[in-house]
Amino acid sequence: MIEPLHDLLLNWKVPPSCIETVGNQRNVYKVKSPEKTFYLKKRLNSSVEKQIEELLLTSFLVGNGLIVERPLLTVSHQPYVRHHQVFYSLYQALEGIPVQVYSLTSLRMVGTYLSKLHGRLKQYVCKYEVEEWKIETHLREWIGGQDSTRIERWGEGFLGKLNEWSFSYSKLPHQLVHSDCHPRNILMKEERVTGVIDFERIRKAPRIADIGYFIAGMLKDQVMEGEDEDEHAECIHAFMEGYQSEGPLTQEEKELMPFLVIIFLLQYTFFYNQKGYSHAVSTYISFINRLVNSGVYEQAFQM
């Protein structure tokens, strides 16, 4: 698969000295040239409209002072190459590495940067129609599965609260959001944010969807490290403090946040169950149960 990519990269006049896959991401390639490093991304379920919108949006964000990953134009002045119904986009590597260490200082910085990003996204006017991010769709499907398994019976216990929560959540103002704002898509160096990547999946939702997705991703990383609820609460509080340094969340947003994070953690749990990772499933079930019963957890979202 690597060899045909050499020809593909000619569309950007990039002579690769080395092409390698990135971890377990089968559709992302790290491309090294004599002078620079790039990432070539293979988009399997994309469209011309999505590719154009990504270019316009990221150009707008860069023009408004944010550091984000922006697709490079080909020699034909397009932000993509289409090959056998598959889209390829090339990006110059940004400084920094994905969030890996969750210090309180770094989390405040991430919160502040995400708040700035949301402010800019709110100002952007889309050229094409953008879909709504319906975060509870897959969760309802998983809980309503065909067999009454242990995890499905456990998940049914959240349905009542989910129904009540979703009504209030749907009333929140919707705006453009990143919708894939997990820690791996935020780059840092020396506890400062150096960029945000992967804007191809932009959607519309309340801004707290991005916040909840990041916090759930952080907790998912931390749960295997055996940290206790007090440490989780401190991390959440630091992130929320950073986010609100650019402007406060409403009281209703704060009240909806704890269960929003639980929804994302439930999605991870059902996903791992489908993959057959029984140890991870047991760990997350126990962890979610502790969060739900922890007053410290909910208080971390209040400031």
CATH class (in words) of the domain with range 2-93: alpha beta
The pLDDT value recorded for residue 227 is 62
Beta bridge partners of 83: 86
The pLDDT value recorded for residue 205 is 97
Beta bridge partners of 177: 203
- Superfamily grouping for domain 98-299: Aminoglycoside phosphotransferase (APH), C-terminal lobe (3.90.1200.10)
The pLDDT value recorded for residue 228 is 67
The pLDDT value recorded for residue 147 is 60
- In the three-class reduction of DSSP (H, G, I as helix; E, B as strand; rest coil), residue 135 is classed as coil
DSSP 8-state secondary structure symbol assigned to residue 158:
T
Residue 151, pLDDT above cutoff 90: no
Cα 89 from Cα 98, distance rounded (Å): 20
Residue 284 sits at the vertex; the CA angle it makes with 279 and 286, to the nearest 5 degrees, is: 100
Q: What is the pLDDT of residues 171-219, one digit of tens each?
A: 999 999 999 999 999 999 999 999 999 999 999 999 999 999 999 999 9
Q: What is the pLDDT of residues 19-43, one digit of tens each?
A: 998 888 889 999 999 889 999 999 9
Residue that wins the pLDDT comparison between 138 and 183: 183
pTM for the whole structure: 0.94
The pLDDT value recorded for residue 38 is 97
The pLDDT value recorded for residue 262 is 96
Q: Are 232 and 222 in contact (CB under 8 A)?
A: yes
Residue that wins the pLDDT comparison between 71 and 270: 71
The pLDDT value recorded for residue 140 is 85
Listed by start position, the domains of the chain span 2-93, 98-299
The H or E element containing residue 77 is none
Backbone dihedral region for residue 65 (phi beyond 0: left; psi -120 to 50: alpha; all else: beta): left
- Exposure of 283 by Cβ count < 10 A (0-12 exposed, 13-18 middle, 19+ buried)? middle
Q: What is the pLDDT of residues 47-80, one digit of tens each?
A: 999 999 999 999 999 999 999 999 999 999 999 9
- In the three-class reduction of DSSP (H, G, I as helix; E, B as strand; rest coil), residue 71 is classed as coil
The number of residues in the chain equals 303
The pLDDT value recorded for residue 204 is 97
CA 85 distance to own-chain centroid: 26
Using pLDDT thresholds of 50, 70 and 90, give the confidence band for residue 231: confident
Proportion of the chain above pLDDT 70, given as a percent: 96
Residue 225, pLDDT above cutoff 80: no
Residue 184 sits at the vertex; the CA angle it makes with 266 and 291, to the nearest 5 degrees, is: 30
Burial 90-112 (b: 16+ CB within 10 A, else e): bbebbebeebeebeeebbbbbbb
Residue 146, pLDDT above cutoff 60: no
